[in-house]
Amino acid sequence: MGSPTESGLKAVFLAERPMLARLLAARLGGPDDAEDALQDMWLKLDQFVDRPVADPAAYLFRMAANLAADRRLSAARRGARDTGWMEAQSEADDIPDIERTLIARERLRQVEAALDALPERTRTAFRMFRLEGRPQREIAGTLGISVSGVEKLLQRAYRQIHDSGGGEGVGMAGR
Amino acid sequence: MTEGRDIVDQAIGWHLRHAEMSSAEWHDFVAWLEADAAHATAYDRVALDDALLADLPRPAPAPFVPARPRRLAWAVGGTAMAAGLAALVMPLALTPGSVAYTVRTAPGESRTVTLADGTRIEMNGGTTLRLDRNDPRVASLDAGEAVFAVRHDGGKAFVLHSGALALQDVGTVFDVSRNGTRLDVAVAEGAVSFQPGREAILIKAGTALVAREDIHQVALTPVPVDAVGGWRSGRLTFNATPLGDVAEAIRRTDGADIRFDPDLSARPFTGMVRLTGDAAKDVPHIAALVGAGWRRDGERWIISPEGKAGN
């Protein structure tokens, strides 16, 4: 490994480290978790090869945001388990837990119901954005509307999903 | 951009723009998160919901998928389900000039495919693989199991797709099996990168990965290197595998239709099973291993809890 691309990314990482740390601390609830996540990122950068990145800083922020989301999701699932979904299970982390599935399924059902209730165009835009990973500009082209029109549809879709969770985010406590 | 909207809408607005934000905008986002604890909380909800969305079932052939004539080539000869599962992967897997073809084995049948670059794929029974005549560095496992001995090429990595998941070799021998939304990967030599694009996880030799596409969850466990691809010699190793999937694995190798009673099929099974290839011997052996009874119903073998009335 050790390609120029990789060391470039690492240099940007070091330059943006304070801001990445602030992002992670804001998302994960404290500087300790942020440091831990930064370590993870650094290790991941070691595995990077042959992938030129257009805007390395933005890329690193996205990577940090994704990492934070993954950690929050597993923490939330752990939290839900600890609050009585099932008795402690010693090797829980090694086993694809059935009760985690249940929590996720319950919320997924709500999400699916919320999506079903959306007007068709909104649902289509959402599906293309979130499930097919298509850029908003491309969605705008396909649907024949402006980019800001797409943004409005997506905004509405995410809001419906959010509101379908009721007050407390369904088993997703545990910050 | 944020004035006049409530906090949740602001959070959603930021989230929607993540993919396209410049580093200056990321700095603004951090400042927004820090400005008020309510901002961070609202954003957290949005991000958690969004992370869960990765688990939504993939839509079946969608009316708005961009028109890419070559997609049809992949779908030809594929089952409806395989085509549906692969729909999202195709745009990634395809390069201009690709000539796709499907290789399929029946349960109980195995087959070895050698690609133009020297990569060898040993297919277990009940397996569907999509390949590209013009690009030996890409493949898609739609169903079943195969051992990949990849000829490493520093210039172009070998990428295996399965459903919405992807693996990239780092010079390697690895076994992959697909059961519905579950993907099992076990590495015998070298290493494989799981989900190489976004948040890569490196799977090294002697490690197995279980990915659950439905619940967006990944677990890594150690695996004896010589157990990888054990089906080639009739040895199947399972690691907290639901019995329903165990039945599917046996079916691939023995070609026998084995069903577990619904009361058993979700139960996890860990251990090694030696198969003779003859279901009449293997089924009683497996039933004994899981402490259950068995019966035969025509071509079908049914394993159910001891004492449960036949249904």
Quote the pLDDT of residue B55. 61
Q: Kindly give, in sequence order, each residue whose CB lies less than 8 Å from that of residue B185, ignoring residues fewer than 6 positions away.
A: B167, B174, B175, B176, B192, B194, B203, B208, B209, B211
Q: Do A19 and B30 touch (CB under 8 A)?
A: yes
Say which amino acid occupies A98.
I
Q: What is the pLDDT of residues B108-124, one digit of tens each?
A: 888 888 888 888 899 98
Minimum CA–CA partner of B214 in chain A? A101
Q: What is the pLDDT of residues B229-266, one digit of tens each?
A: 888 888 888 877 889 888 888 888 878 888 898 888 88
b/e A125-148 (16+ beta carbons within 10 angstroms → b):
bbbbbbbbebebeebbebbeeeee
Minimum CA–CA partner of B210 in chain A? A96
Q: Which residues of chain A neighbour B51 with C-beta distances below 8 Å?
A: 69-70, 72-73
Identify the segments of chain A with pLDDT beneath 50: 1-6, 50, 81-99, 168-175
Q: Do B199 and A98 touch (CB under 8 A)?
A: no
Minimum CA–CA partner of A25 in chain B? B34
ipTM over 0.85: no
Q: How far is A144 from chain B (nearest CA, A)?
A: 12
In chain B, which among 98-127 make CB contacts under 8 A with chain A? none
Minimum CA–CA partner of A93 in chain B? B219
In chain A, which among 51-90 make CB contacts under 8 A with chain B? 55, 57-58, 61-63, 65-70, 72-73, 76
User: Touching check for A107 and chain B: CB below 8 Å?
Assistant: yes
- Nearest CB partner across the interface for B23, out of A57, A67, A100: A57
* pTM beyond 0.80, yes or no: no
Quote the pLDDT of residue B148. 92
Say which amino acid occupies B123.
M
A61, B37, B45, A86 alpha-carbon torsion, rounded to 10°: 110
Q: Do A72 and B44 touch (CB under 8 A)?
A: yes
